Amino acid sequence: MTEIIYKEDAYKIIGICMEVHNQLGKGFNEVVYADALEIEFMDNGIVYSREKKFGITYKGNLLPHKYKADFIINDKIVLELKAINCLTTAHTKQTLNYLAVSKLQLGILINFGEDSLKYKRVIL
């Protein structure tokens, strides 16, 4: 049986996201949830980068536009936030692309836009 990658870190991140969703509910823009998460990360001693930029190369050329990760947690987890009606496979594919660009293995896709928090672990 394979071990779950970054199990404790992911559990803690999802728990913090649940707390934010419980406090704010649904209906806010993504940036509001990101602001609240930043407070929770600081209060919980979680090391993070917000809107960290990653370059994208195409055929050896660095493209002028960068990918901005919503959050990078502990230099090892991409946290991708949404505040929409429901997640789709396109959001999972987007998170996979972000993992490829960042060279990280685990992404957590969070949706604050539903009645209860929805999340998905995305592994590259």
Give tens-digit pLDDT for 12-41. Answer: 999 999 999 999 999 999 999 999 999 999
Please check the confidence at residue 115 and state whether its pLDDT lies above 80.
Answer: yes
Judge whether 41 lies within some domain: yes
φ, ψ dihedrals at 109, nearest 5°: -100, 120
Please check the confidence at residue 2 and state whether its pLDDT lies above 80.
Answer: no
Residue 4 carries which side chain, given as an amino acid letter? I
Judge whether 70 lies within some domain: yes
Judge whether 1 lies within some domain: no
Over its C-alpha atoms, the chain yields an Rg (Å, rounded) of 14
What is the per-residue pLDDT for 1? Answer: 59
Judge whether 2 lies within some domain: no
Judge whether 108 lies within some domain: yes
pTM for this prediction: 0.93
CATH number at residue 37: 3.90.320.10
- Tokens at 17, concatenated: 């996201």
Taking Cα atoms as reference points, which of 81, 82, 73 lies closest to residue 102? 73
Report the number of distinct structural domains present in the chain: 1
Judge whether 87 lies within some domain: yes
Mean pLDDT of the 81-94 span: 96
Judge whether 111 lies within some domain: yes
Distance separating alpha carbons of residues 36 and 45, to the nearest angstrom:
14
In DSSP notation, 5-44 reads TTHHHHHHHHHHHHHHHHHH-S-S-HHHHHHHHHHHHHHT
The residue with tokens 């994208």 is 56
Judge whether 86 lies within some domain: yes
Range of the structural domain that residue 106 is part of = 7-123
pLDDT tens per residue, range 35-50? 999 999 999 999 999 9
What is the per-residue pLDDT for 3? Answer: 82
